[in-house]
């Protein structure tokens, strides 16, 4: 019997990572869940996957993307557990709410550390084994904010955009060695990254307060149509079977529409469509109000 394919998923203890790890395990993959707290996280994953405690197809490793030593140790644990992984999924990430003026620079640093610099460091650590094996795919989980800058989440949007540009560059670098890269743009899913787990730095009494109120109202309406994480997991599983050296996919109707618009519409028109969708004032409106 052939060895099962192996996949490493960061942030596998909750949200899209947990759903994806569970689904791929059930499809027969050997799953390495990389997480900050593997004791509690692996127990949660085993419960969701209905896996036995000693099942060798479900493995937990500790990973803190803000800690270089943790990243190096996680890479060693991954190689010890599965050798060169067939797939490395960069799913872990953090977000924060707040416009550019309201967001502290320390939070910008943390978001870039977790969402960009950490994935780059982990990839660098596992690439030697993947190159030696001559196979493997690196999957970067992005969002609509990575396609187009989104108001009130500028830091997160900037980090995801940078993550996509890094993945595009990496794809050309590793393709000659038989490796591939995929960017997955996610739509709106019912996870805690956009609810209770997201720090909020918005000043509702400041100059952007009225904008935040309207963005919140429309965001709550949009969440009524959010898809369950399991739908993302099914989409990811299909994507992992492709052979193209580089690909970008959208999972979720709103993500597909965003990619479609970004490819076909002029930037200025897309800017206005996003403004209208989020209920933001037209250019100069607040200047006139305070004039």
Predicted pLDDT at 226: 84
Active-site residue list: 156
Angle between helices 154-174 and 118-133 (to 10 degrees): 20
The tens digit of pLDDT for each residue in 250-285 reads 999 999 999 999 999 899 999 999 999 888 898 888
The predicted pLDDT at position 44 comes to 93
At 203 the pLDDT is 95
Could you tell me which residue, 194 or 115, shows the higher pLDDT?
Answer: 115
**pLDDT tens digit sequence for 30-63:** 999 999 999 899 999 999 999 999 899 999 999 9
Residue 74 near residue 3, CB atoms below 8 Å? no
User: What pLDDT is attached to residue 279?
Assistant: 87
Amino acid 191: pLDDT = 81
Tell whether the model's pLDDT for residue 288 goes beyond 70. no
CA distances (Å), origin 115, targets 2, 19, 162, 278, 285: 35, 19, 9, 25, 34
Is the Cβ–Cβ distance between 218 and 188 less than 8 Å? no
> What pLDDT is recorded for position 97?
95
Give the pair of three-digit tokens for residue 177.
């060695």
Count CB-CB contacts under 10 A for residue 41: 23
In this predicted structure, the answer to whether residue 193 has a pLDDT above a threshold of 70 is no
pTM: 0.93
pLDDT band at 73 (very low <50, low <70, confident <90, very high): very high
The pLDDT mean for the chain works out to 93
Token representation of residue 268: 């200025």
CA distance 245 to 243: 6
pLDDT digits (tens, 9 = 90+) for 141-190: 999 999 999 999 999 999 999 999 999 999 999 999 999 999 999 998 98
DSSP string, 166-226: HHHHHHHHHGGGT-EEEEEEE--B--GGGTTTS-B---TTSTTHHHHHHHHHHHHHHHTTP
């Amino acid at each position: 019997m052939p060895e099962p394919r192996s996949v490493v998923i960061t942030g596998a203890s909750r949200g899209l990572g947990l759903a994806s790890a569970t689904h791929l395990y059930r499809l027969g993959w050997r799953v390495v869940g990389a997480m900050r707290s593997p004791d509690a996280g692996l127990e949660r994953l085993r419960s969701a996957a209905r896996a036995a405690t000693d099942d060798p197809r479900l493995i937990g490793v500790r990973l803190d993307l803000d800690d270089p030593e943790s990243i190096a140790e996680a890479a060693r644990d991954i190689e010890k557990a599965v050798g060169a992984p067939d797939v490395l999924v960069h799913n872990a990430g953090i977000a924060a709410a707040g416009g550019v003026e309201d967001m502290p620079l320390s939070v910008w640093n943390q978001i870039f550390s977790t969402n960009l610099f950490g994935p780059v460091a982990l990839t660098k650590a596992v690439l030697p084994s993947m190159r030696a094996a001559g196979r493997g795919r690196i999957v970067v989980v992005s969002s609509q904010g990575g396609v187009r800058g989104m108001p009130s989440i500028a830091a997160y949007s900037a980090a995801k955009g940078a993550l996509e540009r890094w993945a595009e560059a990496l794809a050309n670098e590793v393709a000659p060695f038989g490796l591939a890269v995929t960017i997955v743009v996610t739509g709106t899913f019912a996870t805690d990254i956009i609810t209770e787990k997201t720090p909020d730095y918005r000043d509702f009494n400041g100059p952007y307060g009225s904008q935040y109120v309207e963005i919140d109202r429309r965001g709550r309406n949009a969440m009524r149509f959010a898809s369950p994480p399991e739908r993302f997991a099914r989409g990811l599983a299909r994507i992992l079977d492709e052979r193209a050296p580089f690909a970008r996919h959208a999972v979720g109707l709103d993500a597909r529409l965003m990619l479609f618009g970004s490819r076909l519409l002029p930037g200025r028109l897309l800017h206005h469509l996003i403004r209208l969708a989020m209920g933001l004032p037209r250019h100069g409106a607040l200047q006139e109000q305070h004039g």
